[in-house]
Amino acid sequence: MKLNPLLIIVIFQLTLLSCNTKDEISNERLNTFQMTINGELWKPSVIDNKPCQETFRCDQSAIGGKIYYTIKASKDPQSTTNFESENVLMLQIMNVNDVGIFPISDTFGDFNSYFQFIKNENNEQKIYMNDTLNSAKVEILELMPIEEGGLIGIRGRFSGTLYNTINQNDSIVIDNCDFTFKRINWYDLNQCSTD
């Protein structure tokens, strides 16, 4: 039996199309993070030119029945994800049991609401923190139940001024800090679905 060359081409194209559809579905973007610092766009680093691998993550924990989230992100030409990165940020939001506005006014600590931004440049480290006068806030816009393990994803935004911990006259303004975590990814930097 001789196969028609046109039929072979059509079958081959359908096979390729089904593979591409599967890849597109399995790489659905679940998590996003970006902000502006003093009016300039700031986004975490992309690892090895893989769009789903970016240097930010979100942890969800609870203490005494109160849920809190810790968001960590870094930006560095080498895509490092530690305190030696060019920029490192940590945002912790306590007692997130519903949507709403949450003041970020505590000092850096395990069970506090804080925003810390570290800038490493010219062999000098500058640490910027929120003040304790409620000038910074996070607005949680959406809580999203996640099927696996009873976790709850979040979508929100942050705005506020952070001050140099050594020189209060040195500050940075963070606006449009928008984040979505449909997948809580603790130590995994994959921002897409894994189906």
pLDDT at 151: 83
pLDDT bucket at 195, cuts 50 / 70 / 90: low
Residue 126, in any domain of the structure = yes
Residue 137, in any domain of the structure = yes
Residue 17 has pLDDT above 60, yes or no: no
Residue 10, in any domain of the structure = no
Residue 18, in any domain of the structure = no
pLDDT bucket at 10, cuts 50 / 70 / 90: very low
Residue 82, in any domain of the structure = yes
HEC string of 140-170 equals EEEEEECCHHHCEEEEEEEEEEEEECCCCCC
| % the chain with pLDDT above 90 | 54
pLDDT bucket at 193, cuts 50 / 70 / 90: confident
Residue 5, in any domain of the structure = no
Within 8 A by CB and 6+ apart from 74, the residues are 44, 45, 55, 56, 80, 81, 82, 85, 86, 87, 88, 89
pLDDT at 59: 93
pLDDT at 85: 74
Residue 188, in any domain of the structure = no
What's the total number of domains in the chain? 1
pLDDT at 100: 96
Which backbone phi and psi does 18 adopt, to 5 degrees? -70, -35
- Taking only the tens place, the pLDDT of each residue in 49-86 is 998 999 999 999 999 888 999 999 998 866 555 556 78
What is the domain range of residue 99? 30-181
Say which residue the tokens 């850096």 belong to. 108
Residue 64, in any domain of the structure = yes
**What mean pLDDT is predicted for residues 178-190?**
89
Which of 33 and 135 is assigned the larger pLDDT?
A: 33
